[in-house]
């Protein structure tokens, strides 16, 4: 079973949860066939016959310097429009875009210029995309926003390419982008998807949260592609930054396949948890029946069986933590599971150790249609 941290699951809860905002980097767009940022700058440079000038900077990862040079060799406005034209050729969202917009995020912040997340959002779960020029804490924070932190292709004049541009949107303490980021970090839990954790954009967000003291120890999560052996030094660095890493297998694909599976599991799990909490077993079955069931399950001989049965319920990662922290009061379980899930648990328990009370209870739990 792929790890979905319990504190992240709880943050999604409609009642009492903080809500979760996704910070989406270039990974999903690259998976959809879009050029990386370095490749995008290289293509623009080729069109301008300036590739030889910027190649050393691109090869060494000094991308802001390369973009700055192009902006000075021509004009920043021309480079913005060339970047937008290059990306507008791509209009098909990838599989990761499709999954991200299906997760019940409270909002999405992306550093990408493309609009593939909006295109994937066919059910209009999220508001139309906004940029640092028109984002507002009061207007957007408590709606399902889609904030393009560095602008987007439909408004080329908003595209941020250079270090000067980055500084202009995040440096002013009273600027709308910085205010919005500060409000997000203080209000929601955060999940980074598709970023490299040596990314300047991640550093900006984490530094902002640290300066404003808005990062909790269990409010920031990051999907981190990793080989089987975790880099302990890098892990310690992330935890010092208060990032809770969720390691996903990197099978020479930057973790894309595993990330897709993880998002699919998250969607299924959140759906099943939501259904159970809307209609728990306690609300659908008679109290005397549940009391008789609890009396059996709370016997010492039955505890290992009930814990094993709970662990086998699919798409309920929250129950794994519940059983570790439970005080042994089985009646509380009836608030956490649906009648169908309780039926699954009782079948497993009764298969391992038949009991007349459990068998009688099962006769009152018809199988789902």
Separation of alpha carbons 147 and 331, rounded Å: 43
How high is the mean pLDDT in each 10-residue block of the chain (369 residues)? 84 88 95 94 96 93 91 94 96 97 97 97 96 88 92 96 79 75 90 84 75 79 90 91 92 92 96 94 94 91 89 89 73 91 94 93 86
Separation of alpha carbons 318 and 227, rounded Å: 26
Give the distance from CA 177 to its chain's centroid.
21
- Six-digit token string for 121: 């959002």
Say if residues 279 and 338 touch (Cβ distance below 8 Å). Answer: yes
DSSP secondary structure, 289-346, as one string: HHHHHHHHHTSGGGHHHHHHHHHTSTT-HHHHHHHHH--S-GGGGGGTSBHHHHHHHH
Separation of alpha carbons 210 and 190, rounded Å: 14
In this prediction, residue 170 carries a pLDDT of: 66
Of the candidates 85, 52, 79, the one whose C-alpha atom is nearest the C-alpha of residue 67 is 79
The DSSP code for 157 is G
pTM for this prediction: 0.92
């Amino acid at each position: 079973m792929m790890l979905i941290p319990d504190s992240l699951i709880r943050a999604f809860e409609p009642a009492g949860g903080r809500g979760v905002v996704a910070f989406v980097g270039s990974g999903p767009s690259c998976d959809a066939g879009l050029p990386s940022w370095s490749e995008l700058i290289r293509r623009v440079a080729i069109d301008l016959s300036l590739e030889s000038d910027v190649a050393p900077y691109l090869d060494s990862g000094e991308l802001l310097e390369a973009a700055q040079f192009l902006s000075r060799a021509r004009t920043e406005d021309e480079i913005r429009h060339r970047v937008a034209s290059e990306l507008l050729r791509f209009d098909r969202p990838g599989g990761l875009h499709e999954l991200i917009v299906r997760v019940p995020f409270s909002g999405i912040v992306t550093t990408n210029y493309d609009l593939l997340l909006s295109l994937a959002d066919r059910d209009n779960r999220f508001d139309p995309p906004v940029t640092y020029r028109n984002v507002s804490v009061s207007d957007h924070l408590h709606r399902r926003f889609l904030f393009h932190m560095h602008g987007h292709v439909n408004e080329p004049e908003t595209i941020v390419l250079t270090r000067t541009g980055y500084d202009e949107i995040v440096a002013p303490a009273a600027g709308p982008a910085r205010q919005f980021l500060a409000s997000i970090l203080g209000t929601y839990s955060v999940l980074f998807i598709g970023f490299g954790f040596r990314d300047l954009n991640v550093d900006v967000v984490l530094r902002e949260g640290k300066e404003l003291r808005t990062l909790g120890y269990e409010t920031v999560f990051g999907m981190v592609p990793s080989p089987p052996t975790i880099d302990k030094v890098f892990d310690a660095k992330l935890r010092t930054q208060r990032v809770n890493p969720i390691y996903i297998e990197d099978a020479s694909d930057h973790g894309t396949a595993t990330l897709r599976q993880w998002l699919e599991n998250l969607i299924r799990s959140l759906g099943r948890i939501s259904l159970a909490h809307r209609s728990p077993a306690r609300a659908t079955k008679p109290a005397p029946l549940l009391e008789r069931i609890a009396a059996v399950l709370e016997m010492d001989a039955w505890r290992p069986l009930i814990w094993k049965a709970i662990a086998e319920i699919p798409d309920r990662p929250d129950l794994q933590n519940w059983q570790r922290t439970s005080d042994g009061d089985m009646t509380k379980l009836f608030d956490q599971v649906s009648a169908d899930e309780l039926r699954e648990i009782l079948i497993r328990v009764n298969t391992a150790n038949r009991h007349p009370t459990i068998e009688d209870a099962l006769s009152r739990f018809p199988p789902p249609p």
